């Protein structure tokens, strides 16, 4: 039975990928900061191995214990918490660098790496810059790899749903950067899980970067309207200049830890978050890796919100 070591197993996307791996017959080992997070998940079918991703010795002990055949790396953050030293550079780049340097010495057959749509050498946000740095290090590591770049991922655990539910419950007003015209191409979390697991098996995915998108391009405003319509909640959507939102994010970063949104998240909107804008990567990731069409946007959003829990 092939062994897969996975980081981020207890997160939103990680849970679906782990379930898909188990369904496919893999033996799964979760590299986690605390094994306590695994309790209640996966019915005891996943073994947890505690790891400090900042320490090479800790990673080596984990690899010596597990001796994995494959590695899936999902860890990432959307906002920094500098008071706790949780930064994009440390989490996205240094943790990935440490992990891949150690993995290279343990005969890993292949790595599947979680990046993000919009990642590019010219991206203005630290989020995307550090994602790009991790991608580039992996490419030069000597490891077999596939890189996955999803657009916004739909599923019941999507943080946007819980944030919007909490915010608009008490104050039914949301500010929209530049009027909310920024485009997403939402992809279903079940398609993301399919793509990751199939990338492990498909040799033709070696050395490639895949974008993952769903069926429809949807503006941020349209996405929020669809969410609030499903909840039967009347919310006032107010267009706000991007510079105002950027400055508001700067203020929030000084008041809250972590902030509800950040200035860097506004910088992430440097171009639409849709597939096909980067000619150097594979744009039809779901079709090419899963050999099927993506789950339609309406179907995915309906399923996500029906199963969303406050």
Give per-residue pLDDT as tens, 42-78. Answer: 988 999 999 999 999 999 999 999 999 999 999 999 9
**Containing domain of residue 45, as a range?**
3-306
Query: For position 174, what pLDDT does the model report?
Result: 95
Q: How many domains does the chain have?
A: 1
Contact 42, 18 (CB under 8 A): yes
| Buried/exposed 231-252: b ≥16 CB within 10 Å, e otherwise | beeebebeebeeeebbebbeeb
In CATH, what number is assigned to the domain containing residue 171?
3.40.50.720
Contacts 24+ apart (CB under 8 A), 31-39: 31/5, 31/6, 31/7, 31/62, 32/7, 37/10, 38/9, 38/10
Query: For position 43, what pLDDT does the model report?
Result: 87
What pTM, to 2 d.p., does this model score? 0.96
pLDDT in tens, the chain (310 residues): 899 999 999 999 999 999 999 999 999 999 999 898 888 899 889 999 999 999 999 999 999 999 999 999 999 999 998 888 899 999 999 999 999 999 999 999 999 999 999 999 999 999 999 999 999 999 999 999 999 999 999 999 999 999 999 999 999 999 999 999 999 999 999 999 999 999 999 999 999 999 999 999 999 999 999 999 999 999 999 999 999 999 999 998 888 877 778 999 999 999 999 999 999 999 999 999 999 999 999 999 999 999 999 8
Q: Is 149 helix (H, G, I), strand (E, B) or coil?
A: strand
């Amino acid at each position: 039975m092939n062994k897969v070591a996975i980081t981020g197993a207890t997160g939103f996307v990680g849970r679906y990928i782990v379930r898909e791996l188990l369904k496919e017959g893999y033996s799964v080992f979760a590299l986690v900061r605390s094994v306590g997070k695994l309790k209640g998940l996966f019915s005891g079918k996943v073994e947890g191995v505690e790891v400090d991703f900042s320490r090479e010795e800790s990673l080596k002990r984990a690899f010596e214990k597990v001796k994995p055949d494959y590695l899936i790396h999902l860890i990432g953050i959307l906002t920094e918490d500098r008071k706790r030293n949780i930064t994009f550079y440390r989490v996205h780049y240094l943790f990935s660098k440490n992990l891949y340097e150690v993995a290279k010495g343990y005969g890993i057959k292949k790595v599947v790496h979680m990046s993000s749509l919009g990642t590019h050498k010219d991206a203005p946000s630290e989020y995307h810059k550090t994602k790009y740095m991790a991608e580039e290090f992996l490419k030069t590591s000597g490891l077999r790899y596939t890189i996955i770049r999803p657009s916004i991922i739909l599923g019941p655990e999507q943080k946007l749903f819980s944030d919007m539910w909490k915010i608009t419950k008490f104050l039914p007003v949301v500010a929209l950067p530049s009027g909310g015209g920024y485009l997403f191409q939402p992809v279903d979390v079940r398609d993301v899980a399919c793509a990751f697991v199939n990338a492990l098996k498909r040799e033709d995915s070696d050395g490639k970067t895949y974008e993952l998108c769903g069926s429809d391009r949807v503006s941020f405003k349209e996405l929020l309207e669809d969410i609030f319509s499903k909840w039967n909640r009347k919310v006032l959507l107010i267009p706000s200049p991007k510079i105002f939102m950027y400055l508001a994010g700067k203020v929030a970063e000084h008041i809250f830890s972590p902030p509800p949104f950040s200035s860097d998240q506004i910088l992430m909107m440097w171009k639409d978050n849709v597939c096909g804008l980067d000619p150097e990567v594979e744009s039809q990731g779901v079709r090419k890796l899963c050999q099927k069409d993506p789950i339609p946007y309406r179907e995915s959003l309906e399923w996500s919100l029906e199963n969303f829990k406050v």
